[in-house]
Amino acid sequence: MAGTLFVVATPLGNLSDLSPRAADTLRRVAVVAAEDTRHTRPLLTHIGSPARLVAFHAHSTEAALRNVLRLLAGGKDVALVTDAGTPTVSDPGAELVAAARAKGIAVITIPGPTAVAAALAVSGLAGDRYLFLGFLPRRGGERRRLLEVVARSEWTVVLFEAPNRAADLLSDLAQSCGTDRPAAVGRELTKLHEETRGGTLGELAGYYAEAPVRGEVTIIVSGTGRAPREAVRPDPEELARTLLAEGVSRRDVADRLAEETGISRNSAYRLVNEL
């Protein structure tokens, strides 16, 4: 019979947060697939686990994935862990879970710490509905698009960021959402120097521009409290007639139609040629 893949949540920092069930699982499995074996080895030593460590992270090759699946198919139980928190929550592992499920291998969750819930709980902001966006791209159009998503969200938004980029993200958020938007910054959650600082985005951006951030960072941004209004797209035929009357070339009109009305380029070219 095939083994079982256990998706095990590990402490954010304080080792006492490892649940008895998680510790028991890590002692019983034959193999632990870890994001960073150097980080996980002290945890296994701490709980007396004899499990063999193999690396499985965001940049693992297809061969590494096949190796874990081969271990499972051979009857060995495998625990998937990341450096801190719950695997697949802005951490590697989803590909392995999906592949195991596709092969009929049992996948069992061993729940526990996650920085998302931990930061929400102490932020003072609404947590009944929230949007988790993880790490934003460092630059470019996709970063601008997601910043706009944060600005328009009616719900609280949770973001992760590296400490050396946290000040820049807070500045960008203040610019996109407005300096008065309530927010909170949690860092080093469950660790010795844990800190959660609340305020407006303007206040937080100013504070962390002068006080460099240390440790893992979770940023919570208050939602608008109202559903975003959908932009009304122009009527394709009306827009086409207007642009053609202005002397815009048919090719450029078709491109504008596709971009501004959302219809396909083929439909846009067909409409222009029919007018």
Whole-number pLDDT of residue 264: 83
Q: Across residues 181-195, what is the average pLDDT?
A: 95
Q: Across residues 12-20, what is the average pLDDT?
A: 95
Q: Is the pLDDT of residue 233 over 80?
A: no
pLDDT digit string, tens, across residues 94-139: 999 999 999 999 999 999 999 999 999 999 999 999 999 999 999 8
Confidence of residue 227 (pLDDT cuts 50, 70, 90): confident
Whole-number pLDDT of residue 236: 86
Does residue 245 or residue 175 have the better pLDDT? 175
Confidence of residue 141 (pLDDT cuts 50, 70, 90): confident
116-221 has the same fold as 4-113? no
Whole-number pLDDT of residue 265: 81
Whole-number pLDDT of residue 228: 73
Type and span of the H or E element at 100: helix 94-102
The SS3 call for residue 4 is strand
* C-alpha of 51 from chain center: 29
Type and span of the H or E element at 176: helix 166-177
In the chain, where the domains are located: 4-113, 116-221, 236-274
CATH number, domain 4-113, options 3.90.79.10, 3.30.1490.20, 3.40.1010.10, 3.40.50.720: 3.40.1010.10
Q: Across residues 155-165, what is the average pLDDT?
A: 97
Confidence of residue 231 (pLDDT cuts 50, 70, 90): low
Which is the CATH superfamily of the domain at 116-221?
Tetrapyrrole methylase, C-terminal domain (3.30.950.10)
Confidence of residue 267 (pLDDT cuts 50, 70, 90): confident
Whole-number pLDDT of residue 13: 92
Whole-number pLDDT of residue 28: 98
Task: Report the mean per-residue pLDDT for the chain.
Answer: 93
Whole-number pLDDT of residue 230: 64
Pairing of strands 217-221, 182-187: antiparallel
Tell me the pTM: 0.80
CB atoms within 10 A of CB 236: 18
Q: Across residues 33-48, what is the average pLDDT?
A: 96
As a whole number of angstroms, the distance between CA 110 and CA 79 comes to: 9
Type and span of the H or E element at 187: strand 182-187
CB atoms within 10 A of CB 129: 10
CB atoms within 10 A of CB 27: 14
Type and span of the H or E element at 133: strand 130-135
As a whole number of angstroms, the distance between CA 155 and CA 206 comes to: 24
The SS3 call for residue 1 is coil
206-209 long-range contacts, CB within 8 A, separation 24+: 208/166, 208/167, 208/170, 209/167, 209/170, 209/171
Whole-number pLDDT of residue 269: 86
Name the β-bridge partners of 8: 110
